[in-house]
Structure 1
Amino acid sequence: MTEYDITSLSTSGYCERMEKQGARKGRPPKAEPEALRAQLLDLIALVGYENASMGSLAESVGMSVRTLHRYFPTKADIVWGGIDVSIDALTAELNAAAGSSPIIDAVAHAITNVFARNAEDLKTMRARLRLIALSPELRTNRSSTFEGWRHAVVHFVATRRGEPARALIPVTAGAAIHMAIMEALTWWGLQEEPLDPADCITRALHGLSNINDR
């Protein structure tokens, strides 16, 4: 597998931000994790996930491989990591959903609120999802966060139906809703138009519930 040299790519903006933090001589500057992630995602997108190495990425942002590993233990963590808080946010939104609203509407509303509270900018989110969509290696490396979303949806469906979470309908319906969410996000990540990811998810979920309608 060919690994491209990305060390010559411009990272001046990020390096300047690190220098302004006033790191002491002899010690590597302390990076802002999310700013560092955004920079690395841009670099990976230029050459492809499979072609980027931790060594070349570290050199491109002006730090040692050891320091980079402190922020991201593996290359996959650069793409998948940093969104774990969304599980708690989704669970909280589902728990707060009105009991009278249909399940699909409640999930769509909860997702919309999660995205409204998400501090990550859409450019970084799209870069993540595009890399996942285009990289077989990343797609087979299932995110524990996305699995957490599935469990949250399954438990919500089970609670609404008054059934155990391991019952047939909660498991299958919850998994179908979760897959619709993930595929809608992947589809959004591959688009060039400035679409709203929450709106794409809402459309996908309503399309799933009205699949027999034309």
Structure 2
Amino acid sequence: MEQHGTRIGRPPKAEPEVLRGQLLDLIALRGYENVSMGSLAETVGMSVRTLHRYFPTKADIVWGGIEVSVDALTAELDAAAESSPIVDAVAHAITNVFARNVEDLTTMRARLRLIALSPELRTNRSSTFEGWRHTVIHFVATRRGEPAQALIPVTAGAAIHTAVIEALHWWGLQEDPRDPAECITQALHGLSNVNNR
């Protein structure tokens, strides 16, 4: 039964990642700052309340869905060979994390492009990405036998993390055919060899 063209009754169900893909397309078309949860909900044919069950905030549509990657990165770094240099170990770990990723690269690029182009999204850093930062700092500290609060682990870990994020943003904005993990590896090796021509 419909009334004034609006669906009533049980709210429609959706697969979260399918719904995320639809919403990312809408946000990319209209601009992140130009859409609200209300307008997005209306476009996909559900109530705002139902949409909030899937995504508590608008930022969660873009940033969410990658929470498990922190545990995956931690596991990969824990398994890294002791003989492997820090930057190589991080690059290899991230490559393995991306190999487990089931997200379509087109959706991933759309997500990363939105983050790169939106000052609001870049400011509203994901707790997942902060988790990556802490994980990398802890790894650097462990390798150096220093506390995680020591100067070099904090600064080196933060630099590595920043290089990873910027490489992802770069990949999101380009039409580079490579896997994002390859761009991250190149960026990290460039970071470690920045004084070499």
1:29 aligned residue (1, 6, 12): 12
Residue 138 of structure 1 aligns with which residue?
Answer: 121
**CA shift digits 1:38-92 (9 cap, x unpaired):** 1100010001000111111111111111110111111111011111100000000
DSSP 3-state at the match of 1:165:
coil
CA distance in 2, matches of 1:156, 1:45: 36
Choose the corresponding residue for 2:97, options 110, 114, 121: 114
- After superposition, the C-alpha distances for 1:78-122 in whole angstroms (9 at most, x for unaligned) are 011111100000000000001111001000000000000011111
Tell me, in whole angstroms, the C-alpha distance in 1 between the residues paired with 2:176 and 2:87: 26
> Which of 39, 47, 52 pairs up with 2:30?
47
Cα root mean square deviation, aligned: 1.0
Distance in 2, matches of 1:28 and 1:76, equals 22
Which deviates more, 150-159 or 191-200?
A: 191-200
The residue type equivalent to 2:181 in the other structure is A
Aligned residue number for residue 160 of structure 1: 143
**Matching residue of 1:124:** 107
Residue 83 of structure 1 aligns to which amino acid in structure 2? I
Task: Tell me how many residue pairs correspond in the alignment.
Answer: 190
Q: Cα deviations across residues 12-42 of structure 1 (Å, max 9, x unaligned)?
A: xxxxxxxxxxxxx931222111110011000
Q: Which residue of 1 aligns with 2:154?
A: 171
Whole-angstrom distance in 1 between the partners of 2:55 and 2:46: 13
| 1:38-117 equivalence runs, <5 A | 38-117=21-100
Taking the aligned partners of 2:33 and 2:61, their CA distance within structure 1 comes to 13
How far off is 1:195 after superposition?
A: 2.1
Percent sequence identity over aligned pairs = 86
| Residue ranges of structure 1 left out of the alignment (5+ in a row) | 1-24
Look up the equivalent residue of 2:145 and give its one-letter code.
Answer: G
Tell me the equivalent position of 2:4.
none
- Deviation per CA, 1:142-170, whole angstroms, max 9, x where unpaired? 11110000000000001111111011110
- SS of aligned partner of 1:169: helix
User: Where does residue 164 of structure 2 map in the other structure?
Assistant: 181
Q: TM-score, normalised by structure 1?
A: 0.87
TM-score (norm 2): 0.94
